[in-house]
Every structure is written in C-alpha cells, then in structure tokens.
C-alpha cells in the first residue's frame, strides 16, 4: 500500500527533506529499520516517494544479540516486510553486551556504536549515499532532557541534528511519536514492540515513561515540541559559533597544511573567548582523532589548564590522545604519532654523506640535493643558497647533528650551540636529530630548511652559489 501524499505526516517529512536538502534527487538511501513504528513509518514513506524523488531505497537491520526470541521475531518481521516491498535488505548480528564491555560504555551507547558502524559499512561496500534513521520529535525531547540533567552547553542543547557530516539524515525529526503511530494505523502498517521500552532501569526510559508525562501534565502539555524547537534554535546559534571558530582555527593552526601532529598556537588560543576556545579545542581533537571523537567538559578543562604550563606538560585523553605543550604550541598527538616520535628518537643514529652535487641524500624526514647556482636567482620555497666561494674546505658532508655542534649566527662570526638554536626555533626534541646539516669539517654551514650560517651567506660580492634543495617526507610540524 502506497502512502497518502496528502497525509499530514507525509507533508511534514517532505517539508523537512526539502528544507534541509536531506535527500538529493538520485540518492541511494540506506534506511535503518528496527521493525518499530518509527522505522516502519519512515521506510514506508521513502519507499512510496522513491519514484517521485528519484531515490533508490535500501534497508539495514542489526540484531543486537539481546532480547532473545523477541529480537529473532523482529528479524523475521523485517525480512518479510522488505521482501513484500521489494526493498534490498542487509542484516548483521552483533554481540552488543560484549561490545559494551570492550568499549567500557553502556548497553545503549554500545548499541548505537554497533548500528552506525554497520550502517556505514554497508554504505561503503554498496556505494550508497545517505543513511536515514527514524529519530522523531520525542527522541529529540528525551535527548535534550538527558543532556540537561547531565549538564551541557549550546552544542548539547542542539540535540539531534537533522543532518550529520557523515551522511546521516533524520527526516522524521519534526514528527511526534503519536503522529507516527497514527500514520501506521491510517496506512494499516504493522510493527514490532520492544518490551524493554517499558523497563525504567534505563535513564532514557525513565525520562520517556516518568519525567516527560509529569512535565506534560504539570507544566507544559507540548513539552516535546517546545524542546524540539529549542534544539533547533540552539543548533542555529551553535552553527554560527562553529563557523566563526573554523575561520579562526585556520589562523592559529600550524601553517603547514596536513602537518602532524595537529597543533594550535598557545598565545593566540589564550586570547580568544572561552566558548570559542572550547570549540577550537574540539576542532583540533576531531581533526586528530576523527569526526566522532568527543571530549567531555572535564577533558576540555584539563586541556585549557595546559595553556599556562611549560613545555613538556601534557594530559592524556580517551582513546590514547595526548595533548602536550611543545614550545609555544599545543600539540594533539595520536598514539600513532607518539609511537613514531619515540621510534625516531630511539633509532636516529649518525647519518652522514659525502656531499656531491646532483645526488640525493636521504634522511628520515627529508630528501636533500645540492646543485650549483647563481647568486640573486629566484629560489623555490624548498631551496636555500650559500656562497660557494666562502667555503674554505671543500670536503663537504651532509649529516645530522653531533654533540657539541655550533653554528655561527652573528655577523662577527661568533657561534652558539646548535641545541640552543633549535630550542629557540621551537623544534621538537624528537625531530632535531632528523634535520640535515651541510658541514665543512666541524663547521655547520647550513641547517637545512632553517638557516644559512652567517659567514656563508650571499652578499653583493658573491659570484657562485651552492643551492640546497630539500623535500620533506611526512615532516609533521
């Protein structure tokens, strides 16, 4: 049975899809279906509108490994429904209680993780475009109240979004549960009932079964609609602040694109307003760990506390993320980056080549070449030039640093320790041994990528130049 396109619920769904541009024409849509009224309603509406909207509809059902025979009946119901409507169905069974133990999260959270992982896996394998879930207005109200009771800010009060950055959309978010049940009745649609929805041992169930009815009876009979409207208002404000923070982030993030680890300039970060500071920290954490990475309030405060600390101070966060103070930068270091740094620090022994023009000298993070050049010629960004005729000993080497190395940084030829020079440049300790040096006997002529020693710089009398070209290999920051 096709839906009635004049039905109030269908009109609401069409309006939501159009307003938020949830399902572009030609989309291949995966609908998450549990067998409950919400998902049956959504699948029926999208199935009925598919030809008009030029959509291709697919369905996905996850067996959570709980609720025993009841869950098995849900599987059979969904199979029969999709077969009847000729909708391709993808199914999977996951041990959600085991996942909850492994991830150290609640059953509800583990179930949500399992569902979205499964949905995204199907989308990737089948090359689908959008995931549609059946969250409704009552789900929005429950989520809002849960977050208010825990304590939250604008982001939390934004509630469930109509559209997520990972391709998940919620066409029913403006529709109430009672409207959904009425639609199923009007369309003679059968659906499954989850017996655990009546168990008040779960926080969400207590909010649904106890708190919301009390609020409706004693304070506001339209509390779900009110909270849903509040969520939309907060989402608009949050989007504005996010847009502002993203623009600022590009200015205080490390200037090298794709540099790792992700770093923020501490001085700049310390000058912004608290709410924007929080957003900048969240952006950096998500860029380091992925869009699903979430920091709680206590994690944000621990990171903010680092802004007044010295180099070396750090805090460890969930999933192995470490945020550390590194010479004026706040570095967001993933476990992989920390392991790489440690390996480089431990394995960086002596590296030395006899310098010849035209050859490539390989270092852990650099590839260096030398060639003759003309003073005054235009150099590329990854090139530096020194006066070839000022080199007194032409037995040149390209090597990494040694204990006791010094570099002439003053016009009178006075030198300073290379270690102090690198500290002033805020070069991380793990990276210093990987930086190539052009040397003549014990004299450092150039720190590749950073500085030509003062006595070897080009001047108005220079006739021949030696050009150092360097390509970075996953150089980080």
The answer to whether the annotation marks 290 as part of a ligand binding site is no
Q: Does the annotation flag 34 for ligand binding?
A: yes
Answer for the pair 102, 43: CB distance below 8 angstroms, yes or no.
Answer: no
* Residue 431 tokens, joined: 């990276």
Closest CA to 114 of 150, 169, 177, 66: 66
- Coil, strand or helix at 339: helix
Cβ proximity of 260 and 337 under 8 Å: yes
Rounded-to-5 percentages of helix, strand, coil across the chain: 45, 20, 35
Q: List beta partners, residue 368.
A: 361, 470
Annotated ligand binding at 195? The verdict is: no
| Beta carbons within 10 angstroms of residue 340's beta carbon | 18
Please tell me whether 39 is known to bind a ligand.
yes
In angstroms, the CA 133 to CA 34 distance is 10
**Measured distance CA(193)–CA(416) in Å, rounded:** 77
SS3 120: helix
Q: Is residue 417 a contact partner of residue 446, using CB atoms and an 8 Å limit?
A: no
Q: Is 433 annotated as a binding residue?
A: no
Write out the DSSP string of 214-247.
HHHHHT-TTHHHHHHHHHHHHHHHHHHHHHHHHH
| 465 in a known ligand binding site | no
Which residue numbers belong to the known binding site for ATP?
A: 34-39
Which residue numbers belong to the known binding site?
A: 34-39
């Amino acid at each position: 049975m096709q839906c009635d396109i004049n039905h109030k619920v269908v009109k609401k769904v069409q309006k939501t899809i159009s307003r938020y541009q949830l399902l572009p024409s030609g989309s291949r849509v995966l609908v998450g279906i549990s067998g409950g009224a919400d998902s049956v309603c959504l699948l029926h509406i999208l199935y009925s509108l598919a030809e008009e909207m030029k959509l291709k509809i697919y369905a996905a059902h996850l067996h959570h490994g709980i609720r025993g025979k009841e869950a098995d009946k849900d599987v059979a119901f969904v199979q029969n429904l999709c077969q009847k409507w000729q909708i391709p169905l993808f199914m999977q069974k996951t041990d959600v209680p085991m996942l909850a133990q492994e991830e150290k999260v609640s059953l509800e959270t583990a179930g949500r993780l399992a569902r979205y992982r499964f949905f995204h896996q199907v989308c990737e394998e089948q090359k689908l475009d959008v995931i549609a879930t059946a969250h409704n207005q009552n789900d929005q109200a429950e989520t809002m109240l849960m977050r208010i009771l825990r304590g939250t800010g604008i982001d939390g009060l934004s509630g469930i979004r109509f559209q997520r950055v990972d391709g998940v959309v919620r066409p029913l978010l403006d529709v109430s549960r009672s409207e959904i049940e009425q639609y199923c009745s009007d369309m003679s649609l059968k659906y499954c009932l989850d017996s655990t929805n009546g168990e008040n041992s779960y926080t969400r169930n207590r909010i649904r079964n106890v708190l919301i009815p009390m609020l409706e009876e004693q304070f506001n009979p339209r509390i779900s609609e009110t909270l849903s409207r509040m969520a939309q208002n907060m989402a608009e404000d949050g989007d504005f602040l996010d847009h502002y923070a993203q623009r600022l982030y590009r200015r205080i993030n490390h200037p090298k694109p794709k540099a790792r680890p992700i770093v923020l300039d501490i001085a700049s970060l310390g000058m912004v307003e608290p709410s924007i500071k929080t957003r900048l920290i969240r952006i950096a954490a998500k860029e380091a760990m992925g869009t699903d990475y979430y920091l709680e309030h206590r994690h944000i405060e621990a990171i903010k506390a680092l802004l007044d600390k010295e180099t070396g101070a750090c805090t460890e966060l969930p999933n192995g993320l470490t945020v550390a103070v590194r010479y004026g930068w706040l570095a967001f270091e993933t476990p992989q980056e920390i392991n790489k740094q440690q390996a480089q620090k431990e394995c960086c022994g002596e590296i030395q080549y006899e310098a010849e023009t035209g050859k490539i000298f390989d270092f852990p993070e650099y590839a260096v070449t030398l060639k003759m050049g003309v003073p005054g010629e235009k150099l590329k960004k990854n090139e530096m030039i020194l006066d070839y005729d000022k080199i007194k000993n032409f037995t040149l080497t390209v090597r990494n640093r040694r204990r006791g190395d010094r570099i002439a940084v003053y016009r009178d030829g006075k030198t300073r320790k290379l270690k102090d020079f690198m500290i002033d440049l805020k070069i991380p300790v793990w990276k210093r041994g990987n930086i190539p040096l052009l040397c003549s006997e014990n004299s450092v002529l150039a720190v590749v990528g950073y500085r030509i020693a003062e006595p070897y710089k080009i001047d108005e009398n220079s006739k021949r130049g030696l050009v150092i070209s360097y390509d970075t290999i996953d150089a980080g920051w």
